[in-house]
Amino acid sequence: MTVGRSSVTVDAFHRGAFDLVQPAAGGHRAGMDAMVLAAAVPDAFSGRVADIGSGAGAAGLAVLSRCPNAKVTLIERSPEMLDYANASLALESNSSFSGRAVVIQADVEARGKDRHAAGLDDNSFDFAIMNPPFNSANNRRTPDPLKADAHVMNNRLFENWVKTAAALVKARGSLAVIIRPGSLHELLDAMKGRFGGIQIKPLMPHAGKVAIRVVARGIKGSRAELTIEPPLVLHPAHGSGFTVKAEAIINGQTCLY
């Protein structure tokens, strides 16, 4: 299969409940991070979700798959990645998403009037999810330019991304972000005054090891105190694969918090 001039893969997620079209090589390939981020949306959720900087749409589609009363808007500036998203939504195997997904080309860092022109109204979403480019500028750079575009983010980008999320989400709506632990302070700075009641959820590769990722979820306008939640341990001490809990979360059987 090809999208434009690129060769692609079609990967099954949530034990085959939906399929994702994404580039076979290069670009940012979706996996565990996107599935865990999607799981930050509660099981009983009903409403509109913005997947901000959605890439090919893995996290947003995972929300649609687990939450039958969710509608998702994928927001991405790369036309190539949006081609993949549209290809996914056109698959017969994803027909249950019909009428519940919208794809919008927009730069997350665009000014408000540019967002509005793209069809993104302020205070119109109940939940936003964000899997921002991971590595800070002083980390190892990746050679692939498309991959670098998705993986490099500086502090200013955190500020701009969270600011956009705060504009899009209604009062008392939520934002969930998956980050590297090393970005925690920058993320808290960006959320301050916008999202409160922040719940820090560390992801540990094994029990007793330092976290490799953190999900932070907050509520717009809340003044509740930050909490640190019990970690999600991904892999069992012995044997391969995932723990029972991680397996259920990654496969859309249950939510993260």
Binding site for a second copy (CB under 8 A): 180-182, 184-185, 188-189, 192, 200, 202, 204, 207-211, 214, 225-231
State which residue, 61 or 179, has the beta carbon closest to a second copy.
179
User: Could you tell me which residues come within 8 angstroms of residue 248 by beta carbon, excluding any fewer than 6 positions away?
Assistant: 254
State which residue, 25 or 228, has the beta carbon closest to a second copy.
228
Q: Find the shortest distance in angstroms from Cβ 205 to a second copy.
A: 11
State which residue, 145 or 230, has the beta carbon closest to a second copy.
230
Q: Find the shortest distance in angstroms from Cβ 194 to a second copy.
A: 13
Q: What is the 3-state secondary structure (H, E, C) of the chain?
A: CEECCEEEEEEEEHHHCEEEEEECCCCCCCCHHHHHHHCCCCCCCCEEEEEECCCCCHHHHHHHHHCCCEEEEEEECCHHHHHHHHHHHHCHHHHHHCCCEEEEECCCCCCHHHHHHCCCCCCCEEEEEECCCCECCCCCCCCCHHHHHHHECCHHHHHHHHHHHHHHEEEEEEEEEEECHHHHHHHHHHHCCCEEEEEEEEEECCCCCCCCEEEEEEEECCCCCCEECCCEECCCCCCCCCCHHHHHHHCCCCCCC
State which residue, 111 or 209, has the beta carbon closest to a second copy.
209
State which residue, 56 or 198, has the beta carbon closest to a second copy.
198
State which residue, 146 or 184, has the beta carbon closest to a second copy.
184
